[in-house]
Amino acid sequence: DIQMTQSPSSLSASVGDRVTITCRASQSISTYVNWYQQKPGNAPAILMFAASRLQGGVPSRFSGSGSGTDFTLTISSLQPEDFATYYCQQSFSAPFDFGPGTRVDVK
């Protein structure tokens, strides 16, 4: 199975900050990575698929990059509605596991 790790596990930031979250796969997975945002009490919501493709309706301040084993999700200017937990997921081979999540909270 492919293991997904994320760093940091949590971070504190202020509105307007640039935030970068890293995801690493235990083996090369090309660009088969998705990113989700989850707010308390809600289901996750897709942000990005295929490492860098923005899902329709997602603000352009979100961007993704990477291939192989290392991936990043960047929020260029953090907004109040962006405080949430972010998960990466590999879609290269089953089981399509998620990373452990990165919680972004208010500094």
Contact residues: other proteins, CB under 8 A: 1, 31-32, 34, 36, 38, 43-46, 49-50, 53, 55, 87, 89, 91, 94-101
* Chain position carrying tokens 């309706």: 57
User: Least distance (Å) from other proteins to the CB of residue 18?
Assistant: 25
Would you give the end-to-end CA distance of the chain in angstroms?
A: 36
User: Least distance (Å) from other proteins to the CB of residue 1?
Assistant: 7
- Name the residue nearer to other proteins (CB basis): 13 or 54: 54
* Chain position carrying tokens 């009490």: 41
How many angstroms separate the CA atoms of 4 and 87, rounded?
Answer: 10
User: Least distance (Å) from other proteins to the CB of residue 101?
Assistant: 5
